[in-house]
Chains A and B, each alone.
Chain A
């Protein structure tokens, strides 16, 4: 089955992973800007990172017939440094017209601090000013519930089209508030700290399939970039229809991304060669 992984950090993966993804049916990836595993020293370092996301990765992906899209921001962890964040915020508009940029992301909270909240709001203002879609990271483990509620509080203060915002890494206790507020929700299949394929399917069965996407959030940590096909298999084992599976792993992300002017997806059925 063709699928889209809406959240995958390919800068920290090997070219072999692109090959495996292609073999498994992945036709498009969206890569939000995130933390590199260490704090970067300057806004120039982010400028280089944004060039990597907009110039290098699309070419690497194209070799395997995968379309690469991206989101730009300074992530929540480095947003603790307000001064640096504001410099990076000034750099972002230079890249918003690059053909693979879908919007601002993944912004959000990490430890739910005041500085993170300040920079989150400044990113939202940038997104609104440039009419960008938004992809939001929610914190992990014990900070997730509090952080997700704080994010929903802040989003509620902005006059935005909620169907152009995706709140990611939802789990059993946060998916309800996100969907009920009218946003899209993403479930991340990630070992130990996030959701398993079985629990993600439970969430689909409980909350329905509308405005819900699933991703691997593969990165430099112990993650599995091919986790979306695991979900496909789990749904099949439970007897779900191919059309429902396709909705979750292909139609939904395509529908969400289609609201971005830069999102043009080649029809996988009609392509010839890579």
Chain B
């Protein structure tokens, strides 16, 4: 499939999904309380930025996955003080 065919197939899906996100954010805003300082709201905003930004490679999904991931510390094993079992 070429990019035009994929766009034809995906356009309404993309439109619907973006509307779902917009409506969910509206729902949060309309509700009682304030979540503006909740770190998850910043994650959502950052993820939307990734979607809207031109990427050198097609890695938006991977970038968003990493954005929503806990940090990985290469030295984790030392922190756990588990004797190497090999």
**Interface residues of A, Cβ cutoff 8 Å to B:** 112, 114, 117-118, 121-122, 125, 141-146, 149-150, 153-154, 157-159, 171-173, 199, 202, 206, 238-239
Contact = CB atoms under 8 A, between A and B. Distances in A.
Interface residues of B, number: 21
Most B CB contacts (10 A, CB to CB) among A117, A143, A153, A173 go to A173
B12 interface: no
Nearest to B65: A173
Given A114-B80, A143-B70, 16 more contacts: A117-B80, A121-B82, A121-B85, A144-B69, A145-B70, A146-B70, A146-B72, A146-B76, A150-B72, A153-B76, A157-B86, A158-B86, A172-B65, A173-B65, A173-B66, A199-B61
Contact of B66 (A117, A145, A154): A145
A146 B1 contact: no
Interface string B44-72: 00000000000000110110011011111
A150 to B, nearest CB: 6
Contact of A146 (B58, B59, B69): B69
Nearest to B79: A114
A172 B80 CA distance: 28
A117 B81 CA distance: 11
Nearest to B64: A172
Contact of A173 (B58, B69, B80, B86): B69
B77 interface: yes
Contacts of B76: 146, 150, 153
Nearest to A203: B61
A176 to B, nearest CB: 8
Nearest to A238: B1
A143 B70 CA distance: 6
Contacts of B81: 114
